[in-house]
Each structure stands twice: as C-alpha cells, then as structure tokens.
Amino acid sequence: MWSKDRAGLAKVWAYTTRGEWTTEDGAARKVGQVYALTVALPAIAICAVIEWIAERPSRLAAALLLLWLLSHAPPLSWLI
C-alpha cells in the first residue's frame, strides 16, 4: 500500500475485460464486467476524488466551504 500506486480506472477496466482471471468469453467474464461497471469503477472513482480532496488541507477546506455554500443555496439546500 505504501510502496505501490493504486491502479487507475483504465487498468481496472483492462483487467476486467482482458485479464487472465477467467476465460476470454463466458458468463464469469460478463458478470465481472457488470460488477466492474456497477460497483467497482464507481466506488474507485468516488474514493479517488475523496482521496484527492483529503490529500491537502487547502483542498479539504475549499470542499467543505463549497458544501456549506451549496447547503445554503435554495435549490440545493434540501440535497445536502
């Protein structure tokens, strides 16, 4: 975890579509692709954004300020 970078979305998708974890075609490959599209890739993307924001205190402060401002905007106050 400390010595290696995480795989990006493109690498995860490449592994899902062409990796040697199952046969080239078949049900397991299709299930893996559906899982990647519906669970893994969205979760990785959301966590990557959260990680990027949390990396720097100034980004975190800006994100929190933006959330606070959006929560006070009339059309979005119910959302946050």
Q: Per-domain residue ranges for the chain? A: 9-72
pLDDT higher than threshold 90 for residue 55: yes
**Length reported for the chain:** 80
pLDDT higher than threshold 80 for residue 76: no
The predicted model scores a pTM of 0.76
22 pLDDT tier (thresholds 50, 70, 90): confident
Which residue carries 């401002």 as its tokens? 69
75 backbone dihedrals φ, ψ, rounded to 5° = -70, -25
| Beta-carbon contacts of residue 44 (< 8 Å; ≥ 6 apart) | 9, 12
The more confidently predicted of residues 73 and 46 is 46
- Fill in the amino acid letter for 24: E
What is the chain's mean pLDDT, rounded?
88
